[in-house]
Structure 1
């Protein structure tokens, strides 16, 4: 049985379609990254699957419960961590844990064991009586995850949990996510950090409420680019970008750092690019073939969808 299953899931707010005919099928113990820009529909989809919003059309089930007909049962079987830390800053670490244990109806006889696990996981041993507002962002983040799994839910929704957190803390947080998945917990985690998608079993790319692609990181890089990718440096950068986009055989060109990624229909056209740029008074390095990043794939898929709509 699927841990999360959605068919044609749609949410409208008046004339605005936030989620458009979304299909998902996520297996137990799978970590799926929900990737897309701000406003793509990630948070709305998660709130639908948590039973917090009623769908305008379509169906979905989470942990075997229908999100429209059984929202209370859904919420009893999930953990949820929102974009902003869902902790109470003027309560201590232990008081937050006790509050969420009561909210999730954790048996009193099990509170000490489960709270000790959460404290150890967050690295907060010895700081149980510290006010949450005094904690660094990474500690708050891990404590929020500990609060979300106190009742040992089979499905966990994490809505941009690492937003605004330093890279080292983000990496430690992903270690905790992987540990939960190893215990059989299904995790849907939204993020706009493309590098974090590499930690997921599969990735769902979403744009303007549409699911544009879904697959493993390797599958997405291998199947969805539609050409050969090269990297080069051009000066001036803006003029090089504009010139490349007008050249025959160039599918797309984008700025990456102080260089350019150029997608070609045919890799044999790459050696001629510097000479063509020099003809327009633009200096350029020799193109180097590169492995596409997930950001390359996402940009190309979104551009293709926009051009065909």
Structure 2
């Protein structure tokens, strides 16, 4: 059995145990194109952390680096105490990941998908029955457990994907655009589900381009063209970016920040 050691390398980056995620000067280049431009931030254990920005801003590239899927060009980072560059396999064993594209097998039933991912995550066979029952109850899919996944509504398939990402009890859950393409009611129900998970101590890192969803997050980073333009609580970002505008929203704050960045007059 492979034993992974927690981050022990020398670094000036904060490695305190209250940090679920910490990155410094993280960069990803594809040839001459800079997708992520030396960003630094930290996520506390047990919080809901939002990563916001328009499509193409570098959100998905960052999350793939943090999940050990994509190797950074430069910089450093840790997730759940593991080095994302030298210990990517350890990172993968400690996290749950739900991609923005539905990644389960539509020609299998929810129960069959769950059993498949139990094997992928190397969950001991003796606990499979309990884990299957737990996920079916958590996602409220017990009554459709034997239906083909393709026949389920989009919001139900999302719940199944999220349940499969939780099968191995991850410390950190990465959600990449989890509500893209679904209706507002489904989005609200999905966020209720996410808040329940955070109350149980799971760290939630969610990327989204829906600014209204960020109000559910305790802290957020706003990204544009691979760079951080703001990092704070949603309320503080709004107050700083839109002083004297009591009705301002995160959309207003983001537009104001982008305008200042480009040097245009507001």
Q: Give runs of aligned pairs for residues 239-278 of structure 1, distance below 5 A.
A: none
Secondary structure in structure 1 of the residue aligned to 2:143 = coil
What is the distance in 2 between the residues matched to 1:126 and 1:30? 32
TM-score after normalising by structure 2:
0.91
Query: SS of 1:146's equivalent?
Result: helix
The structure with the larger Rg is: 1
Gaps of 5+ in 1: 230-289
Residue 256 (structure 2) pairs with residue 300 (structure 1) = yes
Task: Classify the secondary structure of the residue corresponding to 2:252.
Answer: helix
Measured in 2, the distance between the counterparts of 1:110 and 1:174 equals 28
Q: Distance in 2 between matches of 1:115 and 1:151?
A: 11
After superposition, what is the alpha-carbon deviation per residue over 1:234-277, rounded to whole angstroms, capped at 9, x for unaligned? xxxxxxxxxxxxxxxxxxxxxxxxxxxxxxxxxxxxxxxxxxxx
The equivalent residue for 1:113 is 130
Q: Which has the higher contact order (CA 8 A, sep 6+)?
A: 2
1:94 aligns with 2:50: no
1:191 offset after TM fit, Å? 0.8
The CA distance in 2 between the partners of 1:156 and 1:293, in whole Å, is: 27
What pairs with 1:195-210 in structure 2 (closer than 5 Å)? Answer: 195-210=212-227
Provide runs of 4+ in structure 1 moved above 3 Å.
none
Which residue is equivalent to 1:245? none
Q: How far 1:21 moved relative to its partner?
A: 0.8
Structure 2 equivalent of residue 223 of structure 1: 240
Tell me the SS of whatever aligns to 1:130.
coil
The CA distance in 2 between the partners of 1:110 and 1:172, in whole Å, is 29
2:13 aligns to what?
none
User: 1:164-187: per-residue Cα shift (whole Å, max 9, x none)?
Assistant: 111111111111111111111111
1:115 and 1:61 mapped to 2: Cα distance?
31
Is 1:165 aligned to 2:168, yes or no? no
Correspondence for 1:176? 193
Deviation at 1:15, TM superposition (A): 0.4
Match of 2:11 in 1: none
Q: How does 1:54-65 map to 2 (within 5 A)?
A: 54-65=71-82
Q: d(CA) in 2 for partners of 1:24 and 1:184?
A: 20
Residue of structure 1 in register with 2:9 after alignment? none
Q: CA deviation at 1:67?
A: 0.5
* C-alpha distance in 2 between matches for 1:305 and 1:148: 37
2:121 pairs with 104, 117, 121, which one?
104
Match of 1:43? 60
Determine the C-alpha separation between the residues in 1 that align with 2:259 and 2:33: 21
Note the C-alpha offset of 1:228.
Answer: 3.3
Residue 138 of structure 1 corresponds to: 155
For 1:68 and 1:217, locate their aligned partners in 2 and report how far apart those are by CA, in whole Å.
30
Aligned match for 1:194, one of 199, 203, 211 = 211
Q: Describe the superposition over 1:104-161 as per-residue Cα deviations: whole angstroms up to 9, x where unpaired.
A: 1111111111111211222211211111000000100011000000000000100001
- C-alpha separation between the residues in 2 aligned to 1:123 and 1:167? 19
C-alpha RMSD over aligned residues: 1.1
The yes-or-no answer on 1:67 pairing with 2:84 is yes
Q: CA deviation at 1:44?
A: 0.2
User: 2: distance between equivalents of 1:130 and 1:30?
Assistant: 35
Distance (whole Å) between structure 2 residues aligned to residue 186 and residue 33 of structure 1: 11
Residues paired across the two proteins, number: 247
- Aligned residue number for residue 291 of structure 1: 247
Q: Distance in 2 between matches of 1:67 and 1:201?
A: 24
